[in-house]
Structure 1
């Protein structure tokens, strides 16, 4: 059976590498040096459904579908503390995050950016826009994407 925790860790690591900003799982990312919440921009990652998906005759539960919501949160412009988060930055972060489903530029099979989960391969990825929100009081604007990962044990 495919455990959820390593999948979440892999999705978090992939989003951090693509956006170059911190990712918090179900909470605002914490600065390890100060133990305080990090100011935006960052991504909030919410694990959604994790369904064991095995319709084989042997039914060994070796496949799963994991769904996540990534909320890309805009923030101030570095070096300009009076700036506010905006739609342009939220969309830029979402565009970077959407690269999760990018295919290799040379047309080879697979995905351009690996989702590294020990003993598990990802044979299909999906992304769909789920909207966004804004908070007029502090000018934080978000863009939301829901991802679905189709996983299979590799035995490695």
Structure 2
């Protein structure tokens, strides 16, 4: 069986690597050095479905399909009073996050960015863009991508 917690940690690390920005699991990411929330831009990661049944008679739960929602958040610059999130900033962040499913260059096998899950390998990745939202009251603009990862036990 592929543990969900290991997958979530790996997906959070993958998005932090591809965007270069902090990722919070279910909540705004916290800076461990200060104990305070990071200002935008950042990503909020929400675990959705985690299916472990491969629908075969001899199913040993060796496979899993994990689905995550990534909400990419653009916001005001804390050093500039009156600033707000921008479409350009959230689209830049979204493009970076989408590279989590990008294939390796020049037709090489595999993916551009590794997804390292102890005891499991990811053989297929998908991204579905759900769309953008905004809240003019707090100057936040966000964009949502749903990621689907197809996994197989390495053991």
TM-score scaled to structure 2, two decimals?
0.95
Structure 2 distance, partners of 1:112, 1:56, is 31
Q: Write out per-residue CA displacement over residues 118-155 of structure 1, whole angstroms, 9 at most, x where no aligned residue.
A: 11000110100111210101210001100000000011
Structure 2: 5+ residue runs without aligned partners?
none
SS of residue in 1 equivalent to 2:105: coil
| CA offset digits 1:7-41 (Å, max 9, x no partner) | 00000001001111100000000111221211111
Partner residue in 2 for 1:75: 75
Partner of 2:101: 101
Query: Where in structure 2 are the equivalents of 1:6-155 lying within 5 Å?
Result: 6-77=6-77, 80-155=80-155
With 2-11 and 72-81 compared, the bigger mean Cα shift is at 72-81
RMSD: 1.3
Alpha-carbon distance in structure 1 between the residues aligned to 2:78 and 2:97: 20
Deviates more, 1:77-86 or 1:6-15: 77-86
Count of residue correspondences: 155
Of stretches 82-91 and 113-122 in structure 1, the one that deviates more from structure 2 is: 82-91
**Cα distance between partner residues in 1 of 2:110 and 2:53:** 21
- Tell me how far 1:79 sits from its aligned partner: 5.2
- Cα distance in 1 for partners of 2:117, 2:89 equals 30
Structure 1 unaligned segments of length 5 or more: list them.
none
Deviations 1:88-114 (Å, cap 9, x if unpaired)? Answer: 111110100000110111211111111
The secondary structure found in structure 2 opposite 1:6 is: helix
SS in 1 for 2:75: coil
Offset of 1:2 from its aligned partner? 0.7
